[in-house]
Structure 1
């Protein structure tokens, strides 16, 4: 994706027109919708299937968390080992080897560990080092309240992301203090999530008040609510991590606003770090910059 650097205003990101989900499901039998939703949103099929089942009060598989974790591992491996190295001009990594081909046997746990790790040449360390060098401190950052049970069911801006699951880790806190909540912070969170997911550890799907359910996903968490009358879907609502990311003043807007003009060529890399689930168009004033497919 090429981005014009002639303008002086902040880049603006817009999503492709959203699929009218309610029109797809309202008036249909529950069984049909349970099958349809994971097929339509197949980038995160497992999370969608779990969410829609829970929203309709259907039982989840006994090993649902293990299956979700496997999906998240796959997504993280592709982003960390293939997509981001390509963006940074580096060789791709052996994702077929799984976590052992990308991460150290012991993840950095302290500031000193992290500084030492950035000097290494194995696995994702060169990619992480290149990412750190690409963005200066305070660039492409977003500082938002973490998604909680109240915020997750609203479409207002919040930190509904993988990073929200790991923000208390000492290295995450160090990165936030020294660079800000930017690309390095977000990608180190992906690494931490890859470790926990490889052990089958993901947040448990849960029910909230007013019929809402929340299910973890590789990008954050999904919220869903449905109402059924005589086996037919009468109401259906779905809120995704991308909805929160793309909200006014959200992660995408703040990240682009803090990206200086001299670094606009990094916008495609930034979009791939943020990882929206739909294609994004970047505009500089009245000039369309291009499209990034996440």
Structure 2
């Protein structure tokens, strides 16, 4: 159980105001909307384009680009962004994972002690956040039916790998914290490279659900006479930042003595839009 009372100083992450999406697209031709939105929201462009085109009833285009986009973003985080953030050298030009990622607890323990792949990154994360610190409790896993309900749900790449033996091992020893999420990123990189990601789908209600580098992305639209009259989108960050969701719980579980690590924690939770930290002992 998380001790949410430890967050006595009110450490919280406040998201930037959303763009007025409905006003931007209302009355525009479907092709114009399909071109416009990925330019406005520049992360996960392939995932957004695919979801939009599915929801708008347009041709989907080449599907292999989605796995490549996800793998590219994972590799950047694991080999450059997060190592540098933790004071480690970037691993540019090297195989990110150093071969196959471990498949069981014993292999993971050996991997984490070594210097191959992301072993040093895993040790650094574990050194900054102890068991239960910066973590969250078990939440419902997002589904195509629940994705437009913006409450506390696990809409993340971790949700794709919950039953993996290494994920279970890390959860049992550290909780669902930063190390658990970095391991999920490594497993998802491996899945993307193997072409083993969830299949994009269009539900009977017209909701397009597409895997992205942070979880599942969803779009639904109302189209009449070739023009868009209503459009909604949900990103993994919407669930990450929901009231009582993973971000709120992670910050609440951070001891006051470690509030200086809140910025790093936010980076490892990886929202796709800017957030501002408020409150806290060192925020």
TM-score relative to the length of structure 1: 0.90
Q: Which of residues 197, 206, 211 is equivalent to 1:211?
A: 206
Give 1:54 shift: 0.3
Where does the alignment leave 5 or more consecutive residues of structure 2 unmatched?
Answer: 1-6
Moved more, 251-260 or 196-205: 196-205
Residue of structure 2 in register with 1:229 after alignment:
224
Residue 200 (structure 1) shift: 2.5
SS of the residue corresponding to residue 211 of structure 1 reads: coil
Whole-angstrom CA distance in 2 between matches of 1:237 and 1:288: 37
Is 1:280 matched with 2:280? Answer: no
- Which of 83, 86, 94 is equivalent to 1:85? 83
8 Å Cα contact 1:282/1:288 also seen in 2: no
Comparing 25-34 and 194-203, the one that deviates more: 194-203
Residue of structure 2 aligned with 1:137, choices 109, 118, 131: 131
* Aligned-partner SS, 2:189: helix
The alignment partner of 2:113 has SS state of coil
Match of 1:255 in 2: 250
Residue of structure 1 aligned with 2:105, choices 108, 111, 115:
111
Partner secondary structure for residue 24 of structure 1: helix
| Contact 2:140–2:153 under 8 Å retained in 1 | yes
Deviation for aligned residue 1:133: 1.3
User: Where does residue 38 of structure 1 map in the other structure?
Assistant: 38
Query: Are the counterparts in 1 of residues 209 and 216 from structure 2 also a CA contact under 8 Å?
Result: yes
Quick check: 1:70–1:200 contact (8 Å CA) kept in 2? no
**Would you say the 8 A contact 1:47–1:215 is kept in 2?**
yes
Any idea what the Cα deviations from partners look like across 1:118-157, whole Å, max 9, x if unmatched? 1101221101111011111111111211112222121111
Per the alignment, residue 4 of structure 1 pairs with none
Instruction: Tell me how far 1:41 sits from its aligned partner.
Output: 1.3
Q: Equivalent residue of 1:235, what SS?
A: strand
* Helix, strand or coil at the partner of 1:209: coil
Q: Does 1:177 align with 2:175?
A: no
SS of match in other structure, 1:10: coil
Provide structure 1 residue ranges, at least 5 long, that are not aligned to the other structure: 1-6, 290-294
Residue 123 (1) aligns with residue 117 (2): yes
Q: Deviations over 1:77-135 (max 9, x none)?
A: 111111111121111112x44xx2x2132321111111111110122110111101111
Matched residue, 2:260: 265
| Greater alpha carbon shift after TM alignment, 201-210 vs 31-40 | 201-210
Structural RMSD (CA): 1.5
Measured in 2, the distance between the counterparts of 1:236 and 1:106 equals 41
Residues 14-29 of structure 1: pairs in structure 2 closer than 5 A: 14-29=14-29
The alignment covers a number of residue pairs equal to 276
Moved over 3 A (4+): none
* Alpha-carbon offset, residue 288 of structure 1: 9.5
TM-superposed deviation, 1:42: 1.6
Q: Matched residues in 1 for 2:212 and 2:162: separation? A: 16
